[in-house]
Structures are given as C-alpha cells and as structure tokens.
Amino acid sequence: MFPLQRGRRLRVNESIRSLVRETSLSPSDFMFPMFIAEGENVKVEIPSMPGIFRRSIDLTVEEVKELFDLGIRAVNIYVKVSEDLKDNTGKEAWNANGLMQQAIRAIKAACPEMIVMPDVALDPYSIYGHDGIIKNGDVENDSTVDALVKMAISHAEAGADFVAPSDMMDGRVLRLREGLDAAGFQNVGIMSYSAKYASAFYGPFRDALDSAPKEADVVVPKDKKTYQMDYANRIEAIKEALSDVEEGADMVMVKPGIAYLDIVREIKNTVHVPVTVYQVSGEYAMIKAASERGWLDHDKIMMEQLMCIKRSGANLISTYFAKEAAVLLKK
C-alpha cells in the first residue's frame, strides 16, 4: 500500500511544525559560566573564547543583573586566583574573604533570586594546576576531599545555593553532604560533575583560569586522566552518576556536551534527579572560529546544538552561549 501516513503533513509550515515540536528551549534552560578576576572595573577578553571575559566583581554583578532580566536563572562561577595565593594545599579556596566568597556575596546581594553554583575544585588554587593535593606523585583522594568540604562550607556561608564539585574524587559527594549538613546548610544543594571526561575540549577554559597541569620540581601527573573519565567508557558514566545520587547529589552533570549526548541519554534514563550538560569552552570556541570564517551560520548552529543537548535529556545546559541564545529566544 502506498503510505497512508505521510510524515511530511506535519512539516508543511512553521505553524504546524511548532504544534508538534517535541523539544523547546527557553532562557531558564541555561546556566552561564562566569570567570571572575581581582580588582575593579576589570574586563579582559579570553583570546580563545571570543565574547567571554574575566570580569572583576563589580562588573560581574552588572552582568548577572542583565542575565536575570533575560530570563537566565543560574550562574556557575570560577575565579582567576593570583599566583602568590596558590600552593599545594589549596587553602585559599576556603578563605572566608577570598575572591570566590566575595563574589558569591556580591551576586546574592545584588540579585538574590539568581541561583549561584560556585565551582568546587582545587585547580585554580593549585601551584600544580591539578584538582587536588599532590602526594607521592598523584592527586591524593581523601585529603583532597577534606579540603573540598572546607571549600564547599565556605561557599555556603557566603550564600551559595548549590555547590558544584568538578574534581572527580571518589566519595566526595557523600563527604560534602555530611559536611554541609553538619554546618547547618541542609538546604544547600549539590550539583555533581558525575561524568566528567578527560577531554581535549577544555583547552580554552584552562587558558581562562591558568588551571592546566604544570611542570614542577616534584613528580606530578602530566594530565588529569587518573581522576577524570576515559572518553571510551559509557557504563562507567552510569555507575558514577548512580553513585553520586546515592551519596546525596541533587543534580548530576555530564561534561563535555555535544560529543557525549549518548551518555546524557543513558544517565537521564537511569537517574531520577535533574541532569545538567556542560557545553564546554572548546565546543564554544569551535563554533565561534568556524562562524568567523564564514564556514557556519553562527546563530543557527548555536541553537541547533543547544536544542540537541536539550533533546538528549538535559534539564539544564551550562553554556557560554547562554546570553546570546537568550537574546535570540527573546526575539
């Protein structure tokens, strides 16, 4: 029989297509990663991330207000730490008057309804550029977790709504939950980077924070493959996400984004908490570079990728395109 069902009937025009569209995007689907620098009135563009800046706290607050007006309801914040504050313990990470803690307080004071999720990892504070404390030639898991707990509590004291551990240490979600609860922060959530892969897509981000592994006068790992995941693995990602949920994670994250959408769907089908996807710096930079050369239509490819990430199962997308996409959606 010639087909009685014709799929093209549902594609005749935009009005019909919009009626049957399975996935939609809105500004509230986005979280904007922000880089914070010392000083006042500081705005420095990151060369490998056109349109993305390290801003001082005063200018960060101004941008947060703009983001909120666009309908974006969450920011993920990172700090560029002075070299003289770095060591192997990461102790500046829990300084009550540190740059991160000052930034959290300032954002919450200026825009109380903006959800602030500060990064919890030691790499911005490490002289070695690693996510934890170096001991015997590797990142030592349990002492790093102890440091992360102190860091997370200091973020909660400053007013963070969620803490976002990106370190990939074993057992850290449980210890963070216990530490936050013991300190009286039962309502501060944990968005865990559960499936964070050892990816080459992070290069521009590491330029932004000077957080790449460094050569040292002691033995240190040359990369982050002893704690971040092997990108050949799928089942391991499900295991990591399930473990984090059992330990108390309120949200789980897959990172990077567009090349890992099979992982997003697997995790979405497995866990019963919101799933966040991080469209990372390298993914952003590739679109910017290709569109600058006229090889891709910037806005079209930006929205296509964001829609595909949402379609794969993301409840929240952490993306450097958040502001541009929100402006486009508002139109």
Catalytic residues: 196, 255
Q: Is 64 helix (H, G, I), strand (E, B) or coil?
A: helix
- Here the tokens at position 156 are 């909660």
Residue ranges of E strands in the chain: 30-37, 43-45, 53-56, 74-79, 115-120, 133-135, 138-140, 162-165, 189-196, 251-255, 275-279, 316-319
The contacts of residue 193 (CB under 8 Å, 6+ apart) are: 164, 165, 166, 167, 168, 253, 255, 278
Question: Whats the size of the chain, residue-wise?
Answer: 331
The contacts of residue 272 (CB under 8 Å, 6+ apart) are: 245
What is the Cα–Cα distance from 110 to 106, expressed in whole angstroms? 6
The contacts of residue 43 (CB under 8 Å, 6+ apart) are: 53, 54, 55, 56, 59
The contacts of residue 182 (CB under 8 Å, 6+ apart) are: none
